[in-house]
Structure 1
Amino acid sequence: MPYPEGHKLKVRGRIIESAAKAIRASGVQGISVPFIMKGAGLTHGGFYSHFDNKEQLVAETCRFAISETIALLQKAADQEKEAPKIHAVIHYYLSPQHRDQTEVGCILPALSGEVSRMSDEVREVFTEELQRMIDFISDLAEVDPLTGQALLSLMVGTIVLARSVSDAELSDSLLSTGRQHAKDLIKTSSQS
């Protein structure tokens, strides 16, 4: 009995979703194809009917995960009624919830430390998706692209450090300080 139309595309989507959760939580080096396929409810033997290799999956997962993050951050911005919308994004991104729920958070902190050692294909996609995030942040904050780069760098770096330390108070302090400096950066930029 043949599969219904669109079945292969749905399965591919499940694999990418599983990979996104796994990469966000453990990085690329910390996961295997069998682990990703198990997370999608599939056997690892079917992987190569969907992807040429793990790096192709990582590239497609990066695109998917950035789209998810932008949608999530846009939702946070849309719910903000009074303060500048970028403040809602800063508060969400640099929150204990985002720090602690790595499997559904932004993929940039997880990939940033590994991508330089990956294929040109993955690095190109990462670069494109990073630029898409910079553009999103810049537009929402109503700042120039260079300030958008600095703002996103501050946010990603803060979340990386807040997730890395073993001291809960220091982690919370990093988030709080990061939120304040992100807002100050926007304020300074608008006064220029």
Structure 2
Amino acid sequence: MPYPEGHKQKVRGKIIESAAQAFRTNGIRDISVPFIMKGAGLTHGGFYSHFDNKEQLVGEACRYAINDTIALLQKAADQEKQEPQINAIIGYYLSPYHRDKTEMGCILPALSSEISRSSDEIRQVFTRELERMIEFISNAAQVDSATGSALLSTMVGTLVLARSVSDSKLSDSLLSAGKQQIKGLIKSYVATEL
């Protein structure tokens, strides 16, 4: 009996989603194809009917994770009625919730250090996805690309440090300080544009 139309795409999507969640939580190197397939509710034997290799899956998972992050940040922005939308984006990104939910969080802080030692193919995909995030942040903050890059870099760096420490008070204070610095950077940009 043949599978219904769209079945292969649906299965492929489940694998990508499982990989994105696993990579966000544990990185690339320590996650095996069988682990990803199990997370998708599948046996690892079917992997190669969807992907040529793990590198191809890493690229697809990066795209998926960035799409997911942009959608979450846009949702936070759309719910904000009072402040500039960028403040809602910053608030969500540097929240204890986002810090603690690594499996659904932004992939940039989760993989940046590992990607720098990856293949050119993976680095190219990661670069394009980083550029999309910079564009999203720049547009939301209504700043140029250089300022958007600084905003995102500060957000990612803050989240990396907040996730790295064992002291919850220090972690919270890092998130708070990051928010203040980023909002200050936006204000100084706006002031120089006037």
Residue identity in the other structure for 1:181: Q
1:8 Cα offset (Å): 0.7
In the aligned structure 1, how far is the partner of 2:131 from the partner of 2:55?
20
Residue identity in the other structure for 1:56: Q
Partner SS state of residue 31, structure 2: coil
In the aligned structure 1, how far is the partner of 2:184 from the partner of 2:140?
15
**1:61 alignment partner in structure 2:** 61
- The runs of at least 4 consecutive aligned structure 1 residues that moved more than 4 Å come to none
Residue identity in the other structure for 1:87: N
Post-superposition Cα deviations, 1:5-62, rounded to whole Å, max 9, x if no partner, equal: 1111100000000001101111111211111000000001111111111110000110
In the superposition, the TM-score normalised over structure 1's length comes to 0.99
In the aligned structure 1, how far is the partner of 2:185 from the partner of 2:33?
41
In the aligned structure 1, how far is the partner of 2:152 from the partner of 2:9?
32
**1:6 alignment partner in structure 2:** 6
**1:156 alignment partner in structure 2:** 156
Post-superposition Cα deviations, 1:65-120, rounded to whole Å, max 9, x if no partner, equal: 10111011000000110111000000000000000000011111111011111111
1:139 Cα offset (Å): 0.4
Partner SS state of residue 129, structure 2: helix
Residue identity in the other structure for 1:103: E
In the aligned structure 2, how far is the partner of 1:188 from the partner of 1:148?
13
Consecutive unaligned residues in structure 2, runs of 5 or more: none
Q: CA RMSD in A?
A: 0.6
Residue identity in the other structure for 2:116: S
**2:174 alignment partner in structure 1:** 174
In the aligned structure 2, how far is the partner of 1:27 from the partner of 1:190?
37
- Structure 1 stretch displaced more, 110-119 or 135-144: 110-119
**1:73 alignment partner in structure 2:** 73
In the aligned structure 2, how far is the partner of 1:81 from the partner of 1:30?
42
Q: Does 1:82 align with 2:86?
A: no
**Identity within the alignment, %:** 73
- Aligned ranges 1:128-167 → 2 under 5 Å: 128-167=128-167
1:164 Cα offset (Å): 0.5
Consecutive unaligned residues in structure 1, runs of 5 or more: none
**2:96 alignment partner in structure 1:** 96
Residue identity in the other structure for 2:61: T
* Count of matched residue pairs: 192
Partner SS state of residue 28, structure 2: coil
